[in-house]
């Protein structure tokens, strides 16, 4: 039996043109996660991560917190665990959302900016997930297939590893969870919006099947300052 921990990256610079890096808080979240895991798990037998910078930075800080000296060349980088391109998805929804400054300007003009952005993003995602448009860099179907391939790669190459960490993003973790729970793909954003930065979703692979054990565990932030719990 192999336990696979899907770990969402720490808080990134959402709303910025260069989103793919952790904020100062994101670094702190990842290290606190590692500190909480050290007495519980000891060390990971294997580390897998997407090829995005925020995945790498989260891995670095988590392993630092765990006091696990696992050299970077021993990490398994698999771009199948990368997030969807939210810039492209928003831009295809409307030309006024083509870049981060334009989106920020639009959001600022709304009576309720937070609610307006969530509504906008959900509509843009619904257009993508519908499969009725072929103008995206990566279709929804292609996205699902590569995440499935990512999970299959982890299981296939687990070897003797009993405890594997996969550092990824909210989208891939939502897709895996949605698939294992049999949730309608149209409702995937209801899963995605709830995933906390540096939360853990635990899978158990028995060899014959994979099942979801826990979803969105962020108990390592409980009892600590509330600002540690973020969603972007």
CA distance 180 to 211: 6
The pLDDT confidence band at residue 186, using thresholds 50, 70 and 90, is: confident
Provide the percentage of residues in the chain whose pLDDT is more than 70: 98
Q: What's residue 18's pLDDT? A: 66
DSSP 8-state code for residue 166: E
Distance CA 121, CA 171 (A): 13
Compute the average pLDDT of residues 123-140: 95
pLDDT of residue 16: 53
Beta bridge partners of 49: 77, 167
Domain 2-82+140-228, classified CATH 3.40.50.300, yes or no: no
Distance in angstroms (rounded) separating the CA atoms of residues 201 and 13: 23
Work out the average pLDDT over 19-23. Answer: 88
**Confidence bin at 51 (pLDDT 50/70/90):** very high
Structure token pair of residue 190: 């209801």
User: What b-and-e string marks burial along 92-126, b requiring 16 or more CB atoms within 10 Å of the CB?
Assistant: bbeeebeebeebeebbeeeeeeeeebeebbeebbe
Q: Write the pLDDT tens digit of every residue in 137-177.
A: 999 999 999 999 999 999 999 999 999 999 999 999 999 99
Q: What is the pLDDT of residue 189?
A: 86
What confidence tens digit (pLDDT) does each residue in 69-107 have?
A: 999 999 999 999 999 999 999 999 998 898 888 888 898
Q: How far apart are CA 26 and CA 62, in angstroms?
A: 11
The three-state secondary structure class of 47 is strand
Please name the residues in contact with 132: beta carbons below 8 A apart, sequence gap of 6 or more.
none
- Other residues' Cβ atoms within 10 Å of the Cβ of residue 3: 17
Longest alpha-carbon distance in the chain: 55
Domain parsing of the chain, residue ranges = 2-82+140-228, 85-137
């Amino acid at each position: 039996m192999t336990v696979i921990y899907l770990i969402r990256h720490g808080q990134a610079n959402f709303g910025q043109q260069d989103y793919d890096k952790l904020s100062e808080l994101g670094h702190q979240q990842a290290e606190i996660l590692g500190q909480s895991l050290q007495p519980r798990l000891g060390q990971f037998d294997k580390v897998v991560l997407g090829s995005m910078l925020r995945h790498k930075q989260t891995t670095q800080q988590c392993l630092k917190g765990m006091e696990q000296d696992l050299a970077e060349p021993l990490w398994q980088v698999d771009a199948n665990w990368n997030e969807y391109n939210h810039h492209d998805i928003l831009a295809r929804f409307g030309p006024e959302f083509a870049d981060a400054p334009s989106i920020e300007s639009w959001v600022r003009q709304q009576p309720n900016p937070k609610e307006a952005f969530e509504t906008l993003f959900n509509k843009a995602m619904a257009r993508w997930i519908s499969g009725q448009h072929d103008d995206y860099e990566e279709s929804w179907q292609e996205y699902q297939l590569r995440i499935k391939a990512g999970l299959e790669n982890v299981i296939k190459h687990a070897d003797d590893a009993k405890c594997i960490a996969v550092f990824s993003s909210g989208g891939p973790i939502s897709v895996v969870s949605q698939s294992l729970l049999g949730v309608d793909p149209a409702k995937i954003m209801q899963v995605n919006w709830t995933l906390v930065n540096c939360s853990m979703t635990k899978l158990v692979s028995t060899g014959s099947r994979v099942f979801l054990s826990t979803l969105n565990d962020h108990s390592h932030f409980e009892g600590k300052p509330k600002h540690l719990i973020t969603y972007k």
